[in-house]
Structure 1
């Protein structure tokens, strides 16, 4: 792709999650012409550079970061540590993280969402919740009122975080997991698929089952 002064958007990750995310990326960009991004300036950024995925060119990360244009991006990589490393590299190259919200998602007007979030179809961020940088909220996941969610947190499909929960940076919450109201989930914790969390989770712990029990630290 030739260099240009026109803005370009890069979706980082051309795997399964990236391919699921791209349709609502296109819809979001089409609904926000103020971003100045044409559909042919929407690309994947991945190791498959030089190919095309779903009709979108794939660029290498260093190629994208070096382009002579305004570079906006979001990271469609589920693992929080990997997502953090990529985002920090791109931000240090003066690329700008863009928050992307699917048309059918709901972010209420009192909620606060930091840059870089990917909020998938039918996800919900409810009253006075605050979520950190580069959240991934997969389809049908929900964060209830007054939750405080750190940076680089991943919610799997249909994960449900009830009111007043505090979630540290880099937490992974598996598909269908349920977290009781008012709990604290420490940084780097992993909540297994379908887990029912009824007590606080220590930083770095992995919990599974119903009720959820720690299996690793």
Structure 2
């Protein structure tokens, strides 16, 4: 029987940052890194960082008992479209987690997450599908995170925060702690700018910047 085939979907900067984590996971499991590829329909080179780059059709044509992929795409809306494409083709969602990542008590994480080095998730946390937590981000207790949410590097998400689907939290942003029964809420599709200090809930679809964070006027 053919061995499983694993992929990092996206050979741009995000994907090349995730690939070493994916490779380390396979090697720790005793699997050959030769069974690990990039998938990218727009990449013009046949290899990147020592791994083959296949388009989607070639990935599906490659001999394999099973196929798994992690979506290394920063845009949550694009991740959602690609997740549907993979599911329709029978490709399993793969979670990639750095060895230096710390996950503590009662943390539930949906399929397809990327947890980069030095990410910390403390306790009583619920996270949806295809979550990205970049370098040095942390999430404190009693948070609820939706699907296709992105934390850029060094996001500080304190306790009792709700982040709805497709929200993007920029590098170095700070989300103030909410209260039990009255969480701070980052609305669906909202964008929190780099370095913003969020002290109150953010409406769905809004972009907030600054300290304290304020909604940008369109």
TM more than 0.5: yes
Instruction: Decide which of 45, 50, 56 is 1:55's aligned counterpart.
Output: 50
- Between stretches 149-158 and 15-24, larger displacement belongs to 15-24
Per-residue CA distance 1:8-46 (angstroms, 9 max, x = gap): 00101111111111111111122224xxx4210100011
Q: In 1, distance between residues paired with 2:175 and 2:129?
A: 21
TM-score, normalisation: structure 1:
0.93
TM-score (norm 2): 0.93
Partner of 1:212: 213
Contact 1:80 1:152 in 2 (8 A): yes
1:133 offset after TM fit, Å?
A: 0.5
CA positional deviation for 1:67: 3.9
- Greater mean deviation of Cα atoms: 83-92 or 24-33: 24-33
Q: Which residue does 1:38 correspond to in 2? A: 32
Deviation at 1:62, TM superposition (A): 2.4
Once the two structures are superposed, the pairs formed by residues 140-179 of structure 1 within 5 Å of their partners are: 140-179=136-175
Report the equivalent of 1:139.
135
Q: Which of these residues, 6, 10, 14, is aligned with residue 13 of structure 1? A: 10
Matched length: 211
| Structure 1 residue matching 2:84: 3-state secondary structure | helix
Give the Å deviation of 1:6: 1.2
Q: Residue 60 of structure 2 aligns with which residue?
A: 65
Separation (CA, whole Å) in 1 of partners of 2:217 and 2:55: 36
Higher mean C-alpha deviation, range 43-52 or range 103-112 = 43-52
CA contact (8 A) 1:49 1:59 kept: no
Given the alignment, which residue of 76, 81, 85 partners 1:80? Answer: 76
Q: Secondary structure at the match of 2:82?
A: helix
- d(CA) in 1 for partners of 2:76 and 2:159? 23
Change (3 A) 1:178 1:93: same
Structure 2 stretches lacking a partner, 5+ long: 179-183
Tell me: CA distance 1:114–1:216, structure 2 relative to 1, closer, same or farther (3 Å): farther
Measure, in 2, the Cα distance between the counterparts of 1:65 and 1:137: 28
Partner SS for 1:129: strand
Separation in 2, partners of 1:181, 1:66: 48
Report what 1:28 is aligned to.
Answer: 25
Distance 1:32 1:196 in 2: 40
- C-alpha root-mean-square deviation of aligned residues, in Å? 1.4
Question: Contact 1:49–1:60 at 8 Å: present in 2 too?
Answer: no
